[in-house]
Amino acid sequence: MSIKEIEKELKEDNKKLEKTLKKDENPSNKQEESPIQEFKPVEKEKRSALSIFGILIFIIITILVIAFLIFTGYNALNQNIVSGVHIKDLDVSNMSKSDARYQLENYIANTLPEEITLKHGDYQTTISLSQISVNFDVKKAVNDAYNVGRQGNLFENNFHVLSSMFGKVNIEPTLNLDTEQLTQNLNEISTQLPDKVVESSYYIEDNNLIITNGKEGNVVDVEATIEAIKSAISDFSTINDPIEVAVKSQSPAAIDIDKIHSEIYKEPQDAYYTQDPFAVYPSENGLDFDVSIDEAKNILGDQSAEEYTIPLKTLYPSVTTNMIGTEAFPDLLSGYSTRYATSNRDRTTNLQLAANKINGTVLMPGETFSYNKVVGERTIAAGYKEAPIYVSGEVVDGLGGGICQITSTLYNAVVYANLEVTERSNHQFVPSYVTASRDATVVYGSIDFKFKNNRNYPIKITCSVSGGIAQFQIFGLKQDDDYEVQISSYETGRTSTAIYSEAYKILKRDGKEVRRVLLSKDTYKRH
């Protein structure tokens, strides 16, 4: 009941009392005036109390309104983040946006480690956070912190400000990382797990393709592990703890013989050359199954075995590199010849067999020539004859005797072409067909003669053994920086049992010596 209603009711009661007193004029009625007199002070007290209560209510409401207006005005004028706001548990209360961003960036930089550790059983590895581009959206987080108490109406804003002041508002910034790069890392980790799945594989050995079957194992559950990594990076309290890699069981893929065939099959490539500009494109051998695809599938059967063998065959080109004519090699880089005695037919046969193996050899830039590899083993089946050779300081007949004359002749041609000699040995005795330190000996399986084509263009070696002369020529393409080459060899001393000598390669340009290179220092036995 309101104050006005109470006053109205009191007035009606007073009127009723006055009417009653007027009707009753006897003395006894006059004596009843005392209750009326007592009622009037009570009425005044009630009215007074109600007025005070109303005033108090009004004052309180006024104070609250004024406080609300002041609080609202303060919030409206405040340009800083309100009290009680945190970002990743970092207190940014009453900071400007720039200060909060600076503090947060430093806090994150000082807390994040350089790398995280992943584990699976006893296996552990690490991933660099910079490699997967880990970062937090600091700008958005600071904006969210600043907007606390600023995005609703007056009442909502003030409520959020009061809540943050007496409680705590914590904002988690958005974590960003390179998911694609992380996926690559996790897929690589899958191949390193101790209990990983082993896929089938193959390799070529001799003329066979060996296929090994796979085994069931574990692979990294990439999606689950990425979520675990994100959670671990976001939780600064445990960020340095190893993260458990989520794995799942997986069986190896079935052996796909069609896919394997497509990977190992290679068409042979014919050699060819161009003259404008001069360029040589070497031949390449091809490779294929030596059985049909269906036969290969029958070899695999139900794929229950651990290993399978598929025979292979080499596909040879129609035009090999050695078949390319000398027109592809326009310049004679060097030549050298030695004499031999035509009276020894067996020795001559050996010289011709070795020379024929070398004749036409093309060496690409950077490729190394091996005498033993090109000429092959000297056997009766290959046509070699018995002829004099040096064994333990004595001259005896041996299979393939005399072919070191071919080696020595080639050695000198190689030096004159300024090619890089990588392996060379001298004879026990100074041979008759070259002077000391100008020879090169070979023994199949133990001593080889090797040199490298250190030029920018291929070279072609031609040789012949005829009429008492063994001759080598090396063709290629001359370069502007080529030197004129001379060889200087001489004895440096003799004893009753030994001869000492050395040889130098002299490089000249325009007739003037530019450099002198030591080829070898050798020791020979005396006859």
List b or e across 425-464, with b for residues whose CB sees 16 or more CB atoms inside 10 angstroms. Answer: bbbebbbebbebbbbbbbebeebbbbbbbebebbbbbbbe
- Sequence ranges of the domains in the chain: 3-77, 78-253, 257-315, 326-483
Confidence of residue 286 (pLDDT cuts 50, 70, 90): very high
Q: Which residues pair with 266 in a beta bridge?
A: 287
Phi, psi (rounded to 5 degrees) for 321? -60, -40
Asked if 426 and 437 count as a contact pair (C-beta separation under 8 A), the reply is yes
> When comparing pLDDT for 58 and 458, which is higher?
458
Q: What is the 8-class DSSP label of residue 122?
A: T
> Tell me, what's the pLDDT at 30?
46
231-243 tens-digit pLDDT: 999 998 888 999 9
Q: Rounded mean pLDDT of 265-294?
A: 93
> Tell me, what's the pLDDT at 468?
96
Phi, psi (rounded to 5 degrees) for 476? -170, -145
Q: Which residues pair with 208 in a beta bridge?
A: 205, 311
Distance CA 306, CA 294 (A): 20
* 395 pLDDT above the threshold of 90: no
Task: Name 331's Cβ contacts closer than 8 Å, sequence gap at least 6.
Answer: 475, 476, 477, 478
Task: Name 409's Cβ contacts closer than 8 Å, sequence gap at least 6.
Answer: 336, 337, 338, 433, 434, 463, 470, 471, 472
Confidence of residue 167 (pLDDT cuts 50, 70, 90): low
pLDDT more than 70, % of the chain: 83
Peptide bond just before 277 cis, omega within 30 deg? yes
pLDDT more than 90, % of the chain: 68
> Tell me, what's the pLDDT at 219?
95
331-349 tens-digit pLDDT: 999 999 999 999 999 999 9
* 42 pLDDT above the threshold of 70: no
- For 8, the token pair is 């109205």
Instruction: Fill in the amino acid letter for 524.
Output: Y
- For 285, the token pair is 């051998």
Furthest C-alpha separation in the chain: 189
Asked if 243 and 220 count as a contact pair (C-beta separation under 8 A), the reply is no
Query: Residue holding tokens 């009191």?
Result: 10
> Tell me, what's the pLDDT at 334?
97
Asked if 416 and 423 count as a contact pair (C-beta separation under 8 A), the reply is no
Q: Among 51-55, 102-106, 314-318, 487-491, whose mean pLDDT is lowest?
A: 51-55
19-39 tens-digit pLDDT: 655 555 454 444 444 444 454
Distance CA 92, CA 106 (A): 13
- For 155, the token pair is 């009442």
* 78 pLDDT above the threshold of 80: no
Give the sheet arrangement for strand 243-244, strand by strand. Answer: 123-128, 115-120, 243-244
